[in-house]
Structure 1
């Protein structure tokens, strides 16, 4: 089993990123490395928090984790530093800004979602109370009907009347 230096691994992984956007199979053929090895390296880089694409070539198809990693990495960068970062990753600053906005709107949506959940829980509690009230009413009606039937049977037994219709 061959060992590769970390610098070599990093250089090969960079070829998977924009602007090269090489596929794993293409890079494996070009470099003479097993595609399984490249997939494992890519998986390790993702686990380490690096922004690497999935199987897709387009940056818009990156995983949510990769997009979030880019947003976090670029949060404190100035406009010039952001542009330089984007050039190195093969991104556009507008994409990073859109991803940042999506992260922020996701947080705002979470707050709105909690509000909707509270309203839904309140409506559910009200519906449960109504159903319990209806269940109690029907239980009482059933008990009354059972009592009437028992009394009718006793009355019929007392008078010796076997017919059910009287």
Structure 2
């Protein structure tokens, strides 16, 4: 089986993929490459999420990246252009509308998550401030207790020395 350079493979795939969408048989004849090799290359493209004409994919066979790319590509198309695009890709306009809604919903969720995270950070800062204040208070109480203990021992030592000395 002959090996083809990445550049040659890319050039041949360019003829098979949009906007050219030429048939596998015509490109195979023109390029002198077997049909099976070209079908294999198209399969690899599908697995990477590249929209391939003449192949109808179910929604879950499209990667999230490919769905987003389709939504972006079709955002500015007229209804007629969208119909032609869908025929080329083996899609339905309704699928693209669902993908667009899912993208927008995801963006909305992300915004909500960002707000939640910001609120959580604010609460965390407040908790940290309270904990630091409590630690300072306990440090002062510990220092005071230590001082009292030291003074108590010194006082005890002072009185215990007096009766023995006198």
- With normalisation by structure 1, the TM-score equals 0.64
* 1:82-110 deviation digits (Å, cap 9, x = unpaired): 22212221222111111111222222233
| Aligned-residue offset at 1:72 | 0.8
Structure showing greater radius of gyration is 2
Structure 2: gaps (5+ residues): 19-33, 162-166
| CA displacement 1:112-138 (0-9 Å, x = unmatched) | 233223322221222112111211111
1:93 corresponds to: 93
Contact 1:51 1:67 in 2 (8 A): no
CA distance in 2: counterparts of 1:32 and 1:5, whole angstroms: 10
Question: CA distance change for structure 1 residues 2 and 105 in 2, over 3 Å: closer, same or farther?
Answer: closer
> Take 2:154 and 2:15, find their aligned partners in 1: how far apart are those partners?
95
Query: What's the offset of the Cα at 1:13?
Result: 6.5
Task: In structure 1, list runs of 5 or more residues that go unmatched.
Answer: 15-28, 162-166
How many residues of Structure 1 are paired with residues of Structure 2 in the alignment? 136
* 1:149-160 alignment, distance < 5 Å: 149-160=149-160
Name the structure 2 match of 1:31: 36
The 5 Å alignment of 1:67-78 reads 67-78=67-78
1:45-84 matched pairs, under 5 angstroms: 50-51=50-51, 58-84=58-84
**Structure-2 change in CA distance of 1:8 and 1:128 (3 Å):** same
Instruction: Report the CA distance between 1:11 and its aligned residue.
Output: 6.0
Does residue 9 of the first structure (1) align with residue 13 of the second (2)?
yes
RMSD: 3.3
- Give CA deviations for 1:26-61 in whole Å, capped at 9, x if unaligned: xxx96157x6xx39x639x86xxx546xxxx63323
TM-score (norm 2): 0.64
Deviation for aligned residue 1:6: 4.9
